[in-house]
Structure 1
Amino acid sequence: MMRELTYYVAVSIDGFIAGPGGEFDQFLFEGDHAADIARRYQGTAPTQLAERAGFPVDGGPFDTVLMGWNTYAVGLPDLPDPYQHLRQIVFTRGREAPAGSDGVEFTDRDPVEVVREVKAAEGRGIWLCGGGALAAVLRDEIDRLALKRNPVLFGAGIPLFEGRDYAPAAFRPTGITPYESGVVLAEYVRA
């Protein structure tokens, strides 16, 4: 059985994964949703932050995380090797690997080609962490969506999928979980 690629990400109700300046501080990180989602998607917090908070990092649904450079750079300079418990692949063109990033694979290869190779190898799920441009490139490779819809409007910013020049794709819901905090975890599988 081939491994699945899941685009697991926080998103505003108007479809943005970050605001116009790349900000995401309006997303809710605390509330009744936090522990449940952290349990379901164990291992998706940066290793050092998870350890400080007492969250386990092993045994989650993913063993590989994919990021574009801008998503990866959010943690710099403090977290140059953010998900030490996962295989980390960062797609970038012409960027230098920062000091302390020994556990991160940087590549300028075609993301679709890389994802197909990773899917064909043994292992658990693959997590697409972001961003919107990489998600658009990998759109046809995404098997599942796990969207943490936050009760905020950004109005502009980085969309869930950058660009709109692609054919429709159908997904069917596998679970919709609303929380008192206003966050809704919406999970889908490719139809």
Structure 2
Amino acid sequence: MRKLTYYVAVSIDGFIAGPGGEFDRFLFEGDHAAGIGEKYRGTAPTELAERAGLPIEGGPFDTVLMGWNTYAVGLPELPSPYRHFRQVVFTRGHEAPTGSDDVEFTDRDPVEVVRELKAEDGKGIWLCGGGALAAVLRDEIDRLALKRNPVLFGDGIPLFEGRDYAPADFRPTGITSYESGVVLEEYVRG
């Protein structure tokens, strides 16, 4: 069965974006970039990876899930941000933009969709954001891969929106610290 991994950048205080949805304080360059980029190969948007000469094949995922707000970060320039993956965007009320023919937009229950995806053959499934979608899918998340950045936002979009869910145990499988200050924390549901 395929696994769902919530792989995301996060601040020390647990936010995946600031109060206005900004994430420009996260470190995109530094000694962490090569190691994390190789381990999670293919997680850069296709066009950006091609321009930078980054490999997109051979990574752990073949499907990416996003909420509308995460998807919309790249609009209008990147209407199909991860062309090398199957792309599923959960939305209730937004129309598919021009150029997004290979993106699946759905208003279906995310839990049902994820369970169907897990039952299919293929590589891992990457949940790349956002916090509201992660909260809905919390019981379906098999792995966490957190790129903990050495910044405090104080407020913003939390890793998991809302607090009305049951506790869940995860056990660490790896913690890698980089001189840049970024720490890759990896966990499996335990």
Task: Please report the TM-score for the alignment, with normalisation by the length of structure 2.
Answer: 1.00
Q: CA deviation at 1:75?
A: 0.2
Q: CA deviation at 1:81?
A: 0.4
1:62 aligns with 2:61: yes
Q: Which residue of 1 aligns with 2:35?
A: 36
Q: CA deviation at 1:60?
A: 0.5
Matches within 5 A, 1:83-162: 83-162=82-161
Q: Which residue of 1 aligns with 2:173?
A: 174
Q: Which residue of 1 aligns with 2:188?
A: 189
Q: CA deviation at 1:124?
A: 0.3
What is the number of equivalent residue pairs in this alignment? 190
User: Matched residues in 1 for 2:110 and 2:165: separation?
Assistant: 17
User: Matched residues in 2 for 1:178 and 1:143: separation?
Assistant: 23
SS of residue paired to 1:36:
helix
Q: Residue type of the partner of 2:121?
A: E
SS of residue paired to 2:37:
helix
1:23 aligns with 2:22: yes
User: Matched residues in 2 for 1:52 and 1:95: separation?
Assistant: 29
* Segments of 4+ moved more than 2 angstroms: none
User: Matched residues in 2 for 1:128 and 1:88: separation?
Assistant: 10
Task: Please report the TM-score for the alignment, with normalisation by the length of structure 1.
Answer: 0.99
User: Matched residues in 2 for 1:103 and 1:58: separation?
Assistant: 18
Q: CA deviation at 1:145?
A: 0.1
Q: CA deviation at 1:136?
A: 0.1
SS of residue paired to 2:69:
helix
Q: CA deviation at 1:94?
A: 1.1
Where does structure 1 lack aligned partners over 5 or more consecutive residues? none
Sequence identity (%): 85
Q: CA deviation at 1:46?
A: 0.3
User: Matched residues in 2 for 1:153 and 1:171: separation?
Assistant: 24
Q: Residue type of the partner of 1:112?
A: V
**Cα shift readout 1:84-106 (whole Å, capped 9, x = no counterpart):** 00000000001000000011000
**Cα shift readout 1:144-179 (whole Å, capped 9, x = no counterpart):** 000000000000000000000011100000000000
Q: Which residue of 2 aligns with 1:5?
A: 4
Aligned CA RMSD, in angstroms, stands at 0.3
User: Matched residues in 1 for 2:49 and 2:179: separation?
Assistant: 23
Q: CA deviation at 1:52?
A: 0.6
Q: Residue type of the partner of 2:66?
A: M
**Cα shift readout 1:90-140 (whole Å, capped 9, x = no counterpart):** 000010000000110000000000000000000000000000000000000
Where does structure 2 lack aligned partners over 5 or more consecutive residues? none
SS of residue paired to 1:25:
coil
Q: CA deviation at 1:15?
A: 0.1
User: Matched residues in 1 for 2:149 and 2:184: separation?
Assistant: 9
SS of residue paired to 2:33:
helix
Q: Which residue of 2 aligns with 1:14?
A: 13
SS of residue paired to 1:93:
coil
User: Matched residues in 2 for 1:188 and 1:53: separation?
Assistant: 29
Q: Residue type of the partner of 1:144?
A: R
User: Matched residues in 2 for 1:27 and 1:185: separation?
Assistant: 13
